[in-house]
Structure 1
Amino acid sequence: MSADRTAGTSTRRTTAVRRRFTGPRAFLLAGSFLITLGSFAVLPYMSVLLHQRLGLGLGTVGVVLAVASLIQFAGGVVAGPVAGRIGLRRSMLLALALRTAGFAAFVPGLASPVLAIGALLLVSAGAALYLPANKAYLVAGCPDADRPRLLSASSSAFNAGMALGPPAAAPLVLGSPGALFTGVAGLFALVGVGHAFLPGGQERPEPVAAAPGGTVRRPGLSPFLVTVVSVYAFMFFQHYLALYAVPRTSAGFYGVVLTGYAALLVVAQPLLAERIAALSYPAALRWGFGAVAAGMAAIAGGGHAGIAVGGALLCLGEIVLFLKNDLEALARSSAPPATVFGRQRLAAGIGAFASGVVGGQLYAAAESAGSARAFWLAVCLQCLLLPVLLLSRRTARGRPGPRAGTSPGLGGG
């Protein structure tokens, strides 16, 4: 009997995995890895190429990269209307065509700043359209219980590409950039051909009672606002760790920390996905911001151990906050998933922009006072206060009704 029960459990798990990771979804996850691998083989080196090879001033480079980032994030709000008009598969094909054309245009653009800037903007526009449509296609038609595993697997695929892209391209980026851009354009073209064979006709999910604008009438935390605040807090680490860590350790150690961070993210997020989905939204905020605050405090301690431990804690905070925000945004909206993910991209862009502006002033003030560690302690204090402010705002608006995501796999205590 015990053997039969074990065999039955194993069969059910295998069936669930096959239902969740269908052929098209498995292809999308593999494509997500390849797309991010190609993108991050090039984009992290863009400031070097624009400044050293094309001779643009650093001020101009900063403006160009800021505009490209704005298009990539804020442009996500266009993805929903485009997908609603032409469908998710065609939206992804259009996005990949834009990115393929952009990377191909970098080849003649290596001798022309105008062409190079135009190519970068094309790539950014393609990225704005692709990610919301990709995530929407991934979760289209799946039960709510499958969403955490699918979205966490998507995040892992993207982060694996982000981790491997820069070291893979390092030998070519300055010595043979033409060959690098040609290879990346070819990779995107091949992935685009694969997308052409994906099944079309993904439909909008069955709507639920909603407020104007497609948002479900549930009092409580706004996933859009929480995403803005989450990305704002997290991006202090992303923007300013290099300035702090490299002089105190080494560039090599900083690279090891980033690689370890990416590896932990890839492995841990799928393992924790269902537990994160089972948390209530307030509990997820407390755990997530608590981990980020502890990470900032560890970094303030300095040294190799403090920076490494801080990176690991921040990784756990990112896993909890970013996945839970996406799940809650889906659960609380009757809008098509592509529209929901586009709004989430806009929220991330606002948070990243605010973090860059505030962080620059804060870091400069800390250095002027002779203590860069004070910067990380100030950020730690913010991370402790932010969930308190968000939850107090929720309480002021009234006690919530049924919690978002209480269907199987999305609720819990």
Structure 2
Amino acid sequence: MGRRSRSGGRRVTGPQAFLLAASFLITLGSFAVLPYMSVLLHQRLGLGLGTVGMVLAVASLVQFSGGVAAGALTGRIGLRATMLTALAVRTAGFAVFVPGMTSPVLAVVALFLVSCGAALYLPANKAYLVEGAAEADRPRLLAVSGTAFNAGIALGPPAAAPLIVGSPTVLFSCVTVLFALVGAGHALLPAAAARPEADAVGADTGAAGGRQARHDCGPPPFAVTALSVYVFMFFQHYLALYAVPRTSAVFYGAVLTGHACLLAVTQPLLARWIAALTYRDAMKVGFGSMAAGTAATAHGGYAAIGAGAALMCLGEVVLFLKNDLEALARSSSPPAVVFGRQRLAAGLGAFASGAVGGQLYAGAEAAGSTRLFWIAVCLQGLVLPLLLTAAARRRRTGGHLPRAGRRQERKRSSRG
């Protein structure tokens, strides 16, 4: 039995606690390896940088877009079986990396196995967390899940640094064992809990009306998620290129660590507040913070870049959690399907950011000031959400004036 929340629902059940711990270990193991893939493929295995870039781009696209397949698979075999399948594929991928350190073909095969496993795992993981939870408990569960993942992201690269260059086969062997043990733990999980009775009744009676009311409060979460990731990934991809020459590599590393730690701490603390925001207000806070963060970064220097990272963190915390909550609230599909679509949206946003960002940064360099890059990103963070909201409003009204508005327009025309 788990502890009960103030709302009367369980705070964290035993299976949920295991899954949160597993989320940390899985991300820790993955990010002990994945950030170093470009170095391993290029320097150790001799692949050209163009080939390395293409391999990593396709692997990232598979990892994000494959979330849709996860939603379909859970409908056939269930959440626990999907997670077990995903972990088996990822474990096999890390195992193939061991001989892959002498073969570029095996290394690429291993990377794609790991990416496919990740695509299947995350939607099922999130869905298992929220499937049997009361709606009031979902924001905190998703926030704590995000904290577990971000803690693994923060600690994985430094934990692997002593081994990645000198003894990569030892590292891959350790990660393979870690994933095998975590997979064995998943085999002991019970089937996902059913939706609470109160929520089920609401879904059959009044929830459809509630979803429609929420639908009128802003653009589709799929589109907002794509745009959120699009804006954020400019910061993720190009901060190093901008910050290291102006400060130092040590400071840049400290900014990344601080960003990950701040994200891990603040998202659970702000979860209830974020859940209470309307979608439009969440977009204003989130995109406004990201725009302010890129504007601060444009000033350069230690304080401005640090402040920019903190503001970007606030925008990420608000938008990424609210997008998932809104997508769940508006959809009658199973949670795994919803999270799979959200992963696809994130992948499209990341892909678009990568395609546009290089051209923008090159243009800023050609103009003689890379600060123009951050100003351009800031303007996008302000303008694109407004255009998206206007397009959603126009779509809801069918591109026409309401009936009363048309009558008034006809009267004005007849008087003229």
TM-score normalised by L of structure 2: 0.89
Is the Cα–Cα contact under 8 Å of residues 209 and 216 in structure 1 kept in the other structure?
Answer: no
Find 1:315's aligned residue among 310, 313, 316.
Answer: 313
Q: CA separation of 1:62/1:24 partners in 2, compared to 1, >3 Å: closer, same or farther?
A: same
Q: Which runs of 5+ in 2 are unaligned?
A: 398-416
Q: What amino acid maps onto 1:114 in structure 2? A: V
Find 1:365's aligned residue among 363, 366, 382.
Answer: 363
Following TM superposition, by how much is the alpha carbon of 1:100 offset from its aligned partner in structure 2, in angstroms?
Answer: 0.5
Find 1:117's aligned residue among 99, 108, 113.
Answer: 108
Q: Is the deviation greater in 193-202 or in 227-236? A: 193-202
Q: CA separation of 1:186/1:208 partners in 2, compared to 1, >3 Å: closer, same or farther?
A: same
The question of 1:352 aligning with 2:343 is answered: no
Q: What amino acid maps onto 1:83 in structure 2? A: T
| Bigger radius of gyration among the two | 2
Look up the SS of the partner of 1:19 in the other structure.
Answer: coil
Following TM superposition, by how much is the alpha carbon of 1:246 offset from its aligned partner in structure 2, in angstroms?
Answer: 0.8
Is the Cα–Cα contact under 8 Å of residues 128 and 192 in structure 2 kept in the other structure?
Answer: no
- What's 2:25 paired with? 34
- What's 2:37 paired with? 46
Alpha-carbon distance in 1 for matches of 2:221, 2:142: 16
- What's 1:86 paired with? 77
Following TM superposition, by how much is the alpha carbon of 1:254 offset from its aligned partner in structure 2, in angstroms?
Answer: 0.4
Alpha-carbon distance in 2 for matches of 1:60, 1:203: 46
TM-score normalised by L of structure 1: 0.90
Q: What amino acid maps onto 1:234 in structure 2? A: F
Is the Cα–Cα contact under 8 Å of residues 106 and 115 in structure 1 kept in the other structure?
Answer: yes
Aligned pairs for 1:20-169 (under 5 A) are 20-169=11-160
Alpha-carbon distance in 1 for matches of 2:332, 2:359: 40
How many correspondences in the alignment?
386
The question of 1:187 aligning with 2:181 is answered: no
Deviations along 1:306-345, one digit per CA (max 9) or x if unpaired, are 1000000000000000000000000000000000000000
- What's 1:411 paired with? none
Alpha-carbon distance in 1 for matches of 2:225, 2:205: 23
Deviations along 1:16-53, one digit per CA (max 9) or x if unpaired, are 69812110000000000000000000000000000000
Q: What amino acid maps onto 2:108 in structure 1? A: I
Deviations along 1:251-279, one digit per CA (max 9) or x if unpaired, are 11000000000000000000000000000
Deviations along 1:363-410, one digit per CA (max 9) or x if unpaired, are 0000011100000011001111122112222332448xxxxxxxxxxx
- What's 1:380 paired with? 378
Is the Cα–Cα contact under 8 Å of residues 208 and 334 in structure 1 kept in the other structure?
Answer: no
- What's 2:252 paired with? 254
Look up the SS of the partner of 1:20 in the other structure.
Answer: coil
- What's 1:19 paired with? 10
Is the Cα–Cα contact under 8 Å of residues 90 and 179 in structure 2 kept in the other structure?
Answer: yes
Alpha-carbon distance in 2 for matches of 1:264, 1:158: 13
Identity %: 71
The question of 1:231 aligning with 2:222 is answered: no
Is the Cα–Cα contact under 8 Å of residues 51 and 58 in structure 1 kept in the other structure?
Answer: yes
Alpha-carbon distance in 2 for matches of 1:188, 1:32: 11
- What's 2:402 paired with? none
Q: Which runs of 5+ in 1 are unaligned?
A: 1-11, 400-413
Q: Is the deviation greater in 387-396 or in 107-116? A: 387-396
Is the Cα–Cα contact under 8 Å of residues 225 and 345 in structure 2 kept in the other structure?
Answer: yes
- What's 1:178 paired with? 169
The question of 1:297 aligning with 2:295 is answered: yes
Is the Cα–Cα contact under 8 Å of residues 208 and 216 in structure 1 kept in the other structure?
Answer: no
Is the Cα–Cα contact under 8 Å of residues 79 and 338 in structure 1 kept in the other structure?
Answer: yes
* Alpha-carbon RMSD: 2.0
Alpha-carbon distance in 2 for matches of 1:136, 1:263: 25
Q: CA separation of 1:201/1:366 partners in 2, compared to 1, >3 Å: closer, same or farther?
A: closer
Following TM superposition, by how much is the alpha carbon of 1:113 offset from its aligned partner in structure 2, in angstroms?
Answer: 0.6
Deviations along 1:102-139, one digit per CA (max 9) or x if unpaired, are 00110000001111100000000000000000000000
Q: What amino acid maps onto 1:347 in structure 2? A: A
Q: CA separation of 1:379/1:16 partners in 2, compared to 1, >3 Å: closer, same or farther?
A: same
- What's 2:272 paired with? 274
Following TM superposition, by how much is the alpha carbon of 1:201 offset from its aligned partner in structure 2, in angstroms?
Answer: 4.8
Deviations along 1:76-109, one digit per CA (max 9) or x if unpaired, are 1000110010000010000000000000110000
Is the Cα–Cα contact under 8 Å of residues 216 and 333 in structure 1 kept in the other structure?
Answer: no
Q: CA separation of 1:167/1:276 partners in 2, compared to 1, >3 Å: closer, same or farther?
A: same
Is the Cα–Cα contact under 8 Å of residues 135 and 151 in structure 1 kept in the other structure?
Answer: yes
Is the Cα–Cα contact under 8 Å of residues 88 and 202 in structure 1 kept in the other structure?
Answer: no
Following TM superposition, by how much is the alpha carbon of 1:216 offset from its aligned partner in structure 2, in angstroms?
Answer: 6.1
Following TM superposition, by how much is the alpha carbon of 1:67 offset from its aligned partner in structure 2, in angstroms?
Answer: 1.1
